[in-house]
Structure 1
Amino acid sequence: MTTSHVNPLVTYGLFLAWAVHDAEELVRGPRWIRENLPGLRERFPGVPEAVWRAMEKVDEREFAAAVGVMAVIVASAAAAGARSGGRSAFYQGALTGFGLHGLVHLAQAAAVRDATPGAPTSPLVVIPFALWARGRLRKAGVLLPVRPGGVVAGLAVAAGATVVSHAVGRKVAARF
Structure 2
Amino acid sequence: MADSVVMSEITQGMSPAVTFGLLAAWALHDAEEVVFGPRWIRSSLPELRKRFPGVPERLWKALEGVDQREFTVAVGAMAVVVAAASVRGHRAGGRSAFFQGAVDGFGLHGLMHLAQAAAVRGYTPGSVTSPLIVIPYAVWARGRLRRVGRLRPMDARGAVSGLAVAGAATALSHCVARRLVRR
Change (3 A) 1:67 1:130: same
Q: Does 1:112 align with 2:116?
A: no
Q: 1:7 aligns with which of 2, 10, 15?
A: 15
What is the aligned-residue RMSD (CA, Å)?
A: 0.9
Q: Determine the structure 2 residue equivalent to 1:65.
A: 73
Q: Stretches of 4+ moved more than 6 A in 1?
A: none
The structure that has the greater radius of gyration is 2
Match of 2:60 among 48, 52, 69: 52
Deviations along 1:89-142, one digit per CA (max 9) or x if unpaired, are 000000000000000000000000111000000000000000000000000100
Q: Do the aligned residues in 2 keep the contact of 1:4 with 1:140 (CA within 8 Å)?
A: no
Q: Counterpart in 2 of 1:41?
A: 49
1:16 paired with 2:24, answer: yes
Q: What corresponds to 1:84 in structure 2?
A: 92
Counterpart residue number, 1:94? 102
Encode CA deviations 1:146-171: one digit per residue, 9 max, x unaligned.
Answer: 01100000010011111001011111
How many residue pairs are counted as aligned between the two chains? 173
| Cα distance in 2 between the residues matched to 1:146 and 1:20 | 25
* CA deviation after TM superposition for structure 1 residue 4, in Å: 4.9
8 Å Cα contact 1:69-1:165 kept in structure 2: yes
**Separation in 1, partners of 2:23, 2:134:** 11
Q: Any idea what SS the aligned residue of 1:104 has?
A: helix
1:6-52 Cα shifts (integer Å, max 9, x gaps): 10000000000000000000000000000000000000000000000
How much identity, in percent, do the aligned residues show? 64
Tell me which of the two structures has the higher relative contact order, counting C-alpha pairs closer than 8 angstroms and 6 or more residues apart.
1
TM-score normalised by structure 2 residue count = 0.93
**1:141 equivalenced with 2:171 (yes/no):** no
Any stretches of 5+ residues in structure 1 without a counterpart?
none
Amino acid at match of 2:56: P
TM-score (norm 1): 0.97
Partner of 1:157: 165
SS in 1 for 2:150: coil
Is contact 1:4–1:142 with CA below 8 Å preserved after alignment? no
> Match of 2:93, as an amino acid?
G
Amino acid at match of 1:128: P
